[in-house]
Structure 1
Amino acid sequence: MLYPKDRTGRQLAVFDPSTEEYSFVDTCFSTHHLQFAYGDDNILWTSGGGDVVGWLDTNMFLRTGDAEASQGWAPLILDTNGNGEQDAWTEPGEDMDPALDMRIPNGFYAVMPEPRGDAIWGSNAFRYPGSITRLLPGSNPPQTSLAEVYVPPLPGFGIRGADIDKNGVVWTSMGSGHLGEFDRSKCEGPLNGPEATGDHCPEGWTLHDLPGPGFADLPEYSVESSYYTWVDQHNSLGLGEDVPIATGNLFDGVHALVDDEFVTLRVPYPMGFYTKGFEGRIDDPDAGWKGRGLWVPEGGRTPWLKEGGQGSKPIVVHFQVRPDPLAR
């Protein structure tokens, strides 16, 4: 039995470049950000489902065109009775019952399949202090799916966009002026049971102060307001593998964390560059720095308010990093 949903907002669509035609996928869950899982089955995981996490078996859909049979979704159930299985659960707002599991309404904003595992991670935004959630589908989702939730310790708060590196470490932009790092392998206590409801693994978190001055009354909080973080798993920029890169939304660029120090790549002109996401691309792995780079689109809704004024249009910036200033 699937967790019931009464309505959805955005669904999915597939564009075929060869025919320039769209195929629409009517999902029973809402969608927002999308990420393919690693593996030959090409499962597409989505965020934006509210109290559920949805997925699409794209191989099945492209083969059959059957949207109903190709999709699934799961609620987020904490194993609070600690038996390692999904059981009957309490609903949000109800008291914990030690004999039952617990459903949490932690909708995903970012969605991140593990590169070397079966779990799917998501960032839980728009609430204080925010959290990240790990969903393990199990052998027969959603009946076998279980979740874990992790809340950052103060002074960190305001989780938004996030990504994951090849070792399963989650990196997230935070409204507190930090780049948050969460390593589940550092957790010392039980990851299920009645105490595992969010605050049980502060030791898994590391908060990296983003560049910029602090507020006058709160100097420990950088004024930088990063929206999203992306991890360069494959060294597409040239600063190394698994380098997390956060949007520098008050710095006209992006911040890359390299060996625990930030490297800021800034767009000098026009001033006011504002991005909400980016992707790396390796066009020629044998061409050195010239064959790779980071593509950063402008994400502001009102580009005419930046330097240049009325008539200004969004731009896309291609960052490339030379190994040394004289490299050709």
Structure 2
Amino acid sequence: WGEEKLWDTKANNHNGMFDRKGRVWFAAVVRGPKNPAFCQKGSDHPSAKLFPLERTNRALTFLDPKTMKYTFVDTCFQTHHLQFGYDANETVWTSGGGPVIGWVNTKMFDETGDAAKSQGWTAFVLDTNGNGKRDDYVEPDQPVDPTKDKRIAGGFYAVMPSPVDGSIWGSVAAFGGTAAVVRVAPGPNPPATALAEIYNVPKPYFGIRGADIDKQGVVWASMGSGHIGSFDRRKCKGPLNGPKATGDHCPEGWAFYQYPGPGFQGIGENSAESSYYTWVDQHNTFGLGEDVPMSTGNLNDGLIALKDGKMIVLRVPYPLGFYAKGFDGRIDDPAAGWKGRGLWTTSGDRAPWLMEGGKGKKPIVVHFQLRPDPLAH
């Protein structure tokens, strides 16, 4: 603000997520960018032997609110968003790793305190030779060789473990290129056995950012074209591997729903809404039902839910400039009806002084609850 420095973060923390013990995990800086030796070429780490990594910015940390102890988990891979899987090891999966997807076995880390032993990562490799297993591969800038597999650049922005089959999904090309979702099946030894599938967003739709998955395994994503998009792998008609399964082989898996609000002139019916992130209310924490996809309505000053094909805008009228980057639901008392459940989000995470109120305005936490009627209290 003028000469006054208001933003002085060092940890650069991003996307906090609770684990089952009530600890909050963050993508955050823990050291300088040069990776330790166990990450790099020449290491005997199972992941480094296959795909060594030299640098990273964010790693992982977690805070235990009971003790206020803040713990570093030094990772070789870059992190951005994170989500916990459904496995017994309480694996946390991360996005932002560029050419790899990384994970930490949090159960092992709790038992050993050994970050190197507890982590792993893998490249994104398509099964283009169609034999159902991972083999030698060609690089992203090389043409498909039907006798080999093919590595793709990957670059997860969102990350979401599937509750259906243990696969890990992510949105890719959030900052340019062909928007897509990618599915990773880890296999028994993920650094060496993980196989990827990629499904490009069909034209005329474009752009992708934050995404989530429902209990049926359907992926929902915020689209730059002014839509919420869904991808259902079960609708694919052709082979999901082989030399032609390189992105454009399942347009029938996609569906799109236009966000509310005015659009740009001259390009047909459209919405100018530029939603940042989509989340799925798998457990009816808000009250609209299970598996309801909801997006940050960043140009609608609120959140947007898609219920039975209809868009519902949850608008925040004051202060002007409400801008959520993510949200989650929580049921505090399942017996308390609407009062015991709701959505939680924030606004003004980076530049709160641009909201109504100006200089000195602090970031806010917002709790959304759905009353059964306007007079309920």
SS of residue matched to 1:94: coil
Aligned to 1:111: 159
How does 1:225-264 map onto structure 2 within 5 Å?
Answer: 225-264=274-313
CA shift for structure 1 position 313: 1.8
Contact 2:263-2:269 within 8 A present in 1 as well: yes
- Matches of 2:177 and 2:303 in 1, distance apart? 25
Aligned to 1:272: 321
1:283 has 2:335 as partner: no
**Unpaired stretches in structure 1, ≥5 consecutive residues:** none
CA shift for structure 1 position 222: 0.9
Aligned to 2:169: 121
- Matches of 2:166 and 2:354 in 1, distance apart? 44
CA shift for structure 1 position 70: 0.4
Identity of aligned residues (%): 65
How does 1:1-328 map onto structure 2 within 5 Å?
Answer: 1-124=49-172, 125-328=174-377
- Matches of 1:190 and 1:40 in 2, distance apart? 32
Contact 1:251-1:266 within 8 A present in 2 as well: yes
- Matches of 2:337 and 2:66 in 1, distance apart? 32
- The change in CA–CA distance for 1:296 and 1:19 in structure 2 (over 3 A counts) is closer
Instruction: Tell me how many residue pairs correspond in the alignment.
Output: 328
Contact 2:185-2:195 within 8 A present in 1 as well: yes
- Matches of 1:60 and 1:122 in 2, distance apart? 24
Contact 1:213-1:219 within 8 A present in 2 as well: no
SS of residue matched to 1:142: helix
Contact 1:276-1:299 within 8 A present in 2 as well: no
- The change in CA–CA distance for 1:202 and 1:299 in structure 2 (over 3 A counts) is farther
The code of the aligned residue for 1:222 comes to S
- Matches of 1:184 and 1:282 in 2, distance apart? 30
SS of residue matched to 2:190: coil
The code of the aligned residue for 1:72 comes to G
Poorly superposed stretches of 4+, deviation over 6 Å: none
Aligned to 2:19: none
Q: TM-score, normalised by structure 2?
A: 0.85
- The change in CA–CA distance for 1:318 and 1:16 in structure 2 (over 3 A counts) is closer
Contact 1:13-1:23 within 8 A present in 2 as well: yes
The code of the aligned residue for 1:117 comes to D
- Matches of 1:197 and 1:29 in 2, distance apart? 25
- Matches of 2:254 and 2:348 in 1, distance apart? 29
SS of residue matched to 2:156: coil
- The change in CA–CA distance for 1:84 and 1:167 in structure 2 (over 3 A counts) is same
- Matches of 1:309 and 1:16 in 2, distance apart? 34
Deviation string 1:30-63 (CA, Å, 9 cap, x unpaired) is 1111100012210110111100000000000000
Aligned-residue Cα RMSD (Å) equals 1.2
Deviation string 1:101-156 (CA, Å, 9 cap, x unpaired) is 00001111110000121100001111233111000000111111100001111121
- Matches of 1:259 and 1:4 in 2, distance apart? 46
- Matches of 2:104 and 2:358 in 1, distance apart? 43
* Farther off after superposition, 275-284 or 292-301: 292-301
**Unpaired stretches in structure 2, ≥5 consecutive residues:** 1-48
* Farther off after superposition, 214-223 or 169-178: 214-223
The code of the aligned residue for 2:334 comes to P
SS of residue matched to 2:123: strand
Contact 2:134-2:195 within 8 A present in 1 as well: yes
Contact 1:152-1:205 within 8 A present in 2 as well: yes
* Farther off after superposition, 54-63 or 20-29: 20-29
- Matches of 1:183 and 1:93 in 2, distance apart? 28
Deviation string 1:253-276 (CA, Å, 9 cap, x unpaired) is 010000010000000111111111
SS of residue matched to 1:111: strand
CA shift for structure 1 position 300: 4.8
SS of residue matched to 1:109: strand
Contact 2:348-2:355 within 8 A present in 1 as well: no
